[in-house]
Structure 1
Amino acid sequence: MLQQTKTKVCILALTGPGVQLARKVHSKIPGSRLLVPEKYGVDDDETFAKGQFTQAFTAAFKGFNCLVCIMATGIVVRKAGPLMQDKTIDPAVVVMDEQANHVISLLSGHVGRANAITNQLAVALDSDPVITTATDTEHVQAIDTLAQRFNGWYPDFKYNTKLFNTRLVEKKPLLLYIDPDFRGIVTDLKGFEVVNELDQQRVEIPLVIISDKSTVPKRPNSLQIIPQINVLGVGSRKDVSYAMMQAAFVAFCERQQLAWRSICQVVSIEKKAHENAIHYLADSLGVPAEFYSVEQLQATAGHYEQSAFVAKTVGVGNVANAASEFASGSQTVNERFSSNQITMAISKRQLKKDD
Structure 2
Amino acid sequence: MTLVLEEGKQVSLEQTGTYAIVAITKHGVELARHLHNQFSQTDLFYMSKFERGDEQRRNISLFEGNVRLLLPSLFRTYKGIIMIVSLGAVVRMIAPLLKDKKTDPAVVVIDDKGQHVISVLSGHLGGANELTREVAELLGAAPVITTASDVQKTIAVDLFGSRFGWTWESADKLTPVSASVVNEEQVAIIQESGERDWWQYDHPLPHTIKMYSTIEDALEAKPNAALVVTHRKLKQEEQPILNNGVLYRPKVIVLGIGCNRGTSEEEINKVIQTTLEELQFSIKSVKAICSIDLKKNEEGLLSITDKNNWEFICYSAEELNRTLIEDPSETVFKFTGAYGVSEPAAKLYSGANTLSLVKKKSGNVTISVAVIPY
TM-score interval, normalised by the smaller of the two chains: 0.5 to 0.7
From the CA coordinates, give the structure whose radius of gyration is larger: 1
Residue pairs, 1:36-185, within 5 angstroms: 55=66, 66-67=83-84, 69-71=86-88, 74-78=91-95, 92-93=108-109, 104-106=119-121, 113-116=131-134, 129-131=145-147, 137-148=151-162, 150-157=164-171, 159-179=172-192, 181-182=193-194, 184-185=196-197
Shift of 1:331: 5.5
Take 1:310 and 1:271, find their aligned partners in 2: how far apart are those partners? 12
Take 2:271 and 2:328, find their aligned partners in 1: how far apart are those partners? 21
Is 1:299 the counterpart of 2:319? The answer is yes
**Aligned residue in 2 for 1:230:** 253
Is 1:334 the counterpart of 2:356? The answer is yes
Shift of 1:320: 1.4
Deviations 1:71-99 (A, max 9, x none): 37632524998xxxxx99x984259xxxx
Q: SS in structure 2 opposite 1:233?
A: strand
2:358–2:369 contact (8 Å) kept in structure 1: no
Unaligned stretches of 5+ residues in structure 1: 1-7, 13-25, 34-53, 82-86
Q: 1:267 to 1:176 in 2, by over 3 A?
A: same
Larger displacement relative to structure 2 (273-282 or 226-235) = 273-282
2:187–2:224 contact (8 Å) kept in structure 1: yes
**Aligned residue in 1 for 2:215:** 198
Is 1:266 the counterpart of 2:266? The answer is no
TM-score normalised according to structure 1 size: 0.61
2:119–2:145 contact (8 Å) kept in structure 1: yes
Q: 1:276 to 1:80 in 2, by over 3 A?
A: farther
**Aligned residue in 2 for 1:253:** 276
Q: SS in structure 1 opposite 2:161?
A: helix
**Aligned residue in 1 for 2:15:** none
Take 1:300 and 1:110, find their aligned partners in 2: how far apart are those partners? 45
Deviations 1:268-292 (A, max 9, x none): 23433554543564467x2336252
Larger displacement relative to structure 2 (146-155 or 227-236) = 146-155
Q: SS in structure 1 opposite 2:160?
A: helix
Is 1:186 the counterpart of 2:198? The answer is yes
Take 1:74 and 1:211, find their aligned partners in 2: how far apart are those partners? 40
Is 1:343 the counterpart of 2:357? The answer is no
Is 1:321 the counterpart of 2:343? The answer is yes
Q: 1:287 to 1:94 in 2, by over 3 A?
A: closer
Q: SS in structure 2 opposite 1:266?
A: strand
Shift of 1:263: 0.3
1:324–1:347 contact (8 Å) kept in structure 2: yes
Larger displacement relative to structure 2 (227-236 or 103-112) = 103-112
How many percent identity over aligned positions?
15
Q: SS in structure 1 opposite 2:239?
A: coil
Q: SS in structure 2 opposite 1:218?
A: helix
TM-score normalised according to structure 2 size: 0.58
Take 1:106 and 1:211, find their aligned partners in 2: how far apart are those partners? 33
Take 1:345 and 1:328, find their aligned partners in 2: how far apart are those partners? 12
Q: SS in structure 2 opposite 1:139?
A: coil
Shift of 1:144: 2.5
Aligned letter for 2:184?
A: K
